[in-house]
Chains A and B, each alone.
Chain A
Amino acid sequence: MKSNGFLMVLAVVAVVVALANVSFTSMKMAEVNQKITGFASSSETGKVNITIATSVSINMSRSNITWGNGTIDVGQQNSTLYTSQENAAVVRGNWQTTNAKAFILDNVGNVNCSLILSGGKSAYAFIGGTNPQYQWNVTNKDDGSCAGGGALLSTWYDVNSSAKFCTQFGIVANSLYIDILLTVPNDANKTGEQTDTITASASTAG
């Protein structure tokens, strides 16, 4: 009998706790539902706000200018080699132009960016000799791709460690040519294979 009384109390407590549990769960789930996004039903609408992050990204889609093996024409002081967008020329020398076309640089991010070019070597370090030349020339591949910057488009400049060509490198018109010119003097002391790396650096526009 005493045991029955204890069980009775226990049963009543169990029912009360269960009732409290149901009430608490229902109330809390109602609160949680207000905070969860992505709810969909035939009678309600939902709204999701997203912010697309700024992403600066550039890609040198044509990244090799290879002149190969060549010599200055006999009796000449020097030879000049240059790319011209989709073409190239060799003056007073016999290098090949097959694999020499301008670098192509694309803005593949989702925001305008600024562009700085830097070369790894000077003309003297790259070629050597008397009055060597190592220059670059940036032009729009897509009209209006590049605006602003201290260095002008369509102008030959000596390759250097930092030249700002664009403050607004666009994402719609988004492609540039970077032409390269080399003048190899006949007393160039950097014979054999010579290489240099051009680095294009982009950061947020401005």
Chain B
Amino acid sequence: MKENLIVILLIVAILLSVVSIAVTFVSLNLKQVPDVTISQGKLDDSSQGKVSIIINTPSGGSG
């Protein structure tokens, strides 16, 4: 009789533990936690351009 009670109590303990694990997983999986990346603002920037010229020596006379 006592052995039966122990077996029942152990089964109940195991079931409660399973319920506890299930509650945890179900609760977490129901929530969609967004993967948010917060970037710092950029406060300055620069951009460059290039001027180029090929200057040949005048072939004629100059003024």
Contacts and interface: CB of A to CB of B under 8 A. Distances in A.
Interface of A: 4, 7-8, 11-12, 14-15, 17-19, 21-22, 25-26, 29, 32-33, 36-40, 48, 53-60, 62-72, 74-77, 81, 95, 103, 105, 109, 113, 126-127, 178, 180, 182, 184, 186-188, 190-204
Given A18-B16, A56-B44, A74-B61, A184 B32 contact: no
Given A67-B54, A202-B45, 10 more contacts: A15-B9, A18-B14, A29-B28, A71-B58, A77-B63, A182-B53, A192-B55, A193-B52, A194-B52, A200-B49
A182 B46 CA distance: 24
Interface string B22-46: 0110011011111000111111111
Contacts of B10: 11, 14
A60 B9 contact: no
A22 B16 contact: yes
A77 B62 contact: yes
A200 B47 CA distance: 5
Contacts of B23: 22, 25-26, 29
Given A37-B33, A38-B31, A199 B48 contact: yes
**Interface of chain B, helix or strand or loop or mixed?**
mixed
Nearest to A185: B62
A57 to B, nearest CB: 5
A109 B45 contact: yes
Given A38-B33, A63-B48, A67-B54, A25 B24 contact: yes
Contacts of A22: 16, 19-20, 23
Contacts of B16: 15, 18-19, 21-22
Contacts of A59: 47
A55 B42 contact: yes
17 contacts: A4-B6, A7-B6, A8-B9, A11-B9, A12-B9, A15-B9, A39-B30, A57-B42, A57-B45, A58-B47, A63-B47, A74-B59, A74-B60, A178-B49, A192-B54, A197-B48, A197-B50
Contact of A21 (B17, B50, B63): B17
A127 to B, nearest CB: 7
Contact of B53 (A14, A18, A39, A70): A70
A65 to B, nearest CB: 5
